[in-house]
Homo-oligomer: A and B are copies of this chain.
Amino acid sequence: MRKEALYLKIAKVIEGQIDSETLRLGDKLPSIRTIQHTYDVSINTAKQAFLELESKSLIESRPKSGYFVSKTSRRKFSLPTVGKLKSSQDEKHPEDLIGRIFDTLKDKEVRQFSLGVPDKSLLPIAKLNKGMIAAIRNLNDSGTSYEPVQGSINLRRTIAKWSLVLDGKLTEDDIVTTSGTMNAIYNCLLAVTQRGDTIAVETPVYFGILHVARSMGLNVIEIPNHPITGVDLDALKKVLPQIKACCFVTNFSNPLGCLMPEAHKKELVNMLTEHNIPLIEDDLYGNLFFGTARPKPCKAFDEAGIVLWCGSVSKTLAPGYRVGWVAPGKFKDKIIRQKLLQTISTPSLYQEVVADFMEHGRFDHHLRTLRGKLYGNCLKFQRAIEDYFPHNTKISQPQGGFMLWLELDKKIDAAKLYDIAINQKISFAPGRMFSLHNQYNNCMRLNFGLEWNEKLDFDLKRLGNIVKSAI
């Protein structure tokens, strides 16, 4: 048997497994080394077999995570519609709806597709606990004293080091720690706006941002977000004279999971620098990329100090730790002052634990595993939705993170659907939550950062049936 034949034979075996659904969408393939041993072939033959499958779009490689069954090129469902530019008129905040969703978060029997964080089964809790016990022993006063207002020096140093993606621009002195990303954004908005100002956000947008903006008396313009490439810069350009600040999730926006291309990021920073408009960049999902590398934030292209780069470990390590940070550019002094006023300092211990976790490679290791699981789940969710939901369902194609955005039949009111679903112990986030305007009523956001199993697959089937019966 010739070598070519050998790799093709292996590829065919795997293709057959994919066809028979022995290997299913999102499943991880055996490693090249395993193939090598199983078929007793050279490493090059094993690699060639995978290349063959990749060329057919049957599998996808993910750096340091391995190969996954993928059929993205065979998507049956189309992308959701791009939202419309909406300025501060006819607003109605979906507060009651958000309240109803929050109320069900406590119910442990409910399937929580509405969660805004990965399920705790995906978090490295045992390792964090070890880190916590070590930190208690190592810290001079075990975190009982106030720490410097700017935040733990160890954490700031580690974030600076570890933000290589920013081309090493940041130093510990550029960073201020916060109580999670929401607190970073709250303080950034407080620093760069005044009551009555107008800010730009993407649409659909995480409702927390809308909430905060309104509480500060800010007007909000919702800029269309493309499900793949993010903020529509042409739309933004039109409203530029009206706005005092932008607040965007440039990497894997919640709920769309879109990724602003690097060229757009550069253009955005140039445009805002020219008009001296600060950009609050909410980069809390940036490490959960499905592509080949961690995408750069806009901060990487910021020469004028107008980008306030916000991050946290709430989506990757421990939401409850409330460890976040901001590199506020030229607004640093203002941010530090506000932090002092609001709360004096952030608790030390959690920051030390996170710093240590990042410093010693455990964070990178955890992220690789987490990304692998999330990407696999994303594919599995998409397949299940294509199997179980009506054929006119539209579905996003997240480039990272753990949120899926579905656009259902126009007749469907997702808020009403929610009431039916919650009776069947299934919770999701109705689309209306993600805008100040009366839109996205037929949309829903699903969290796929959950432990995949048969029950989960079945719950998606049940949800699909609920949707079907509503048309």
A interface with B by C-beta (< 8 Å): 106, 117, 120, 123, 125, 128-129, 132-133, 136-137, 141-148, 179-180, 182-183, 186, 195, 208, 211-212, 215, 317-322, 337-338, 340-350
Interface contact B338-A322, CB-CB below 8 Å: no
Instruction: Name A320's contact: one of B129, B141, B317, B319 (CB within 8 Å).
Output: B141
Cross-chain pairs A/B with CB under 8 angstroms, 11 sampled: A117-B145, A143-B321, A145-B320, A180-B344, A182-B342, A186-B342, A186-B343, A212-B341, A322-B344, A347-B350, A349-B349
Closest 3 CB pairs of A and B: A144-B318, A179-B343, A183-B343
Q: Least Cβ distance of A186 to chain B in Å?
A: 5
Known: A179-B343, A182-B343, A208-B344. 4 other contacts (CB 8 A): A182-B344, A186-B342, A215-B337, A347-B347
With A and B bound together, what is the CA distance between A97 and B148 in angstroms? Answer: 18
**Cβ distance A30 to chain B, nearest Cβ, rounded Å:** 32
Give the docked Cα–Cα distance between A136 and B350 (Å): 12
| Complex contact B106–A148 (CB within 8 A) | yes
> In whole Å, how far is A31's beta carbon from the nearest beta carbon of chain B?
30
Measured between beta carbons, the chain B residues less than 8 angstroms from A340 are: 211
Q: Taking the nearest CB of chain B, how far is it from the CB of A106, in angstroms?
A: 7
Query: Shortest beta-carbon distance, A121 to chain B, in Å?
Result: 10
Pick from B120, B142, B148: contact of A129, CB under 8 Å: B142
Q: Which residues on the B side are within 8 Å of A186 (C-beta)?
A: 341-343
Distance A132 CA – B128 CA, assembled complex (angstroms): 14
**Which residues of B lie under 8 Å from residue A144 when comparing CB positions?**
120, 123, 125, 128, 317-321
Is the CB–CB distance between B147 and A338 below 8 Å? no
Q: How far is the CB of A311 from chain B (nearest CB, A)?
A: 15
Asked if B129 and A136 make an inter-chain contact with CB atoms under 8 angstroms apart, the answer reads yes
- State which of B128, B142, B322 has its C-beta within 8 Å of the C-beta of A346: B322
Judge whether B341 and A182 touch: CB under 8 Å: yes
Q: Does the CB pair A142–B132 fall under 8 Å?
A: yes
Please indicate the chain B residues that have their CB under 8 angstroms from the CB of A142 in the complex.
125, 128-129, 132
Instruction: Report the minimum CB–CB distance from A139 to chain B (whole Å).
Output: 9
Considering only CB atoms, which chain B residue lies closest to A120 in the complex? Answer: B141
Complex Cα distance, B48 from A78, in Å, reads 92
State A348–B106 Cα separation when bound (angstroms): 16
